[in-house]
Amino acid sequence: MASQNIDSAAELLGKARTGDFAAFQLLIESLQPRVYGLAMRMLRSTHDAEDVTQQTFVALIEHIDSFREESSLATWLLKIATNFALKILRRRKTVSMSSFSDITKEDSYGDLPHPDFIAPWTQTAPQIAERHEFQVELERALDGLDEKYRSVFVLRDIEQLSVRDTAEALGLTESTVKVRLLRARLMLREEMTRRFGDPEQSLRSDHNHE
């Protein structure tokens, strides 16, 4: 089975559908951290993220016969994982969960958070990514977002799901996803620019021209 190392995802999926467990393991190797990461970012609990990851891959085994294209696999897994994560959030019955599904005035383009600290960054994103404390800083910034914004940002900008898939995964309309994504991006821009922006090159935030 040494040739499996160079098999494409499509070939691995084909083999897995016939019952080849080794091919299945290779197929899901890179997908496990994505599913677990999504669950961790949505739930902030190792125990719950493990539950979601296990449920998701068990569901994959149950439905593996229905996959014909490997390209849809990651999207399907992330949507299933989101569904399991939402069930846990509902069980927790937190106040923030009610704000998750409720559509409020913040789900419109009125009163968008206006950029406050505007400055070019002192380093590029790849340079910052090399810093040791990088991951902790990012996760802390994500933590600062309300669940309803964080979930949209994680699915759309970290996992690169389309607006439609993000909306389907979260049970929201595409327009609500777009507004929440914009607010999430603006809030994280503010936070990240305060960390990485050059104060000496900061620009006026109260500018406004036609």
Stretch that binds other proteins, among 4-12, 56-64, 67-75, 91-99 (CB under 8 A): 56-64
Binding track, positions 85-124, relative to other proteins; x by CB under 8 A: ------------------------x--x-xx--xxxx--x
The window from 18-26, 74-82, 99-107, 166-174 that contacts other proteins (CB under 8 A) reads 18-26
Distance (Å, whole) CA 83 – CA 52 = 9
Among 7, 14, 76, 185, binds other proteins (CB under 8 A): 185
Instruction: Rule CB under 8 A: choose which of 84, 151, 153, 169 binds other proteins.
Output: 153
**DSSP alpha helices (H): ranges in 44-162?**
46-63, 73-92, 95-101, 125-129, 134-143, 147-153
Nearer to other proteins, 93 or 209 (CB): 209
What is the rounded distance in angstroms from the CA atom of residue 110 to the CA atom of residue 16?
49
Given the rule CB under 8 A, which of 4-12, 36-44, 87-95, 166-174 is the region that contacts other proteins? 36-44
Non-local (6+) Cβ contacts of 172 within 8 A are 152, 166, 180
Tokens matching residue 207: 């500018």
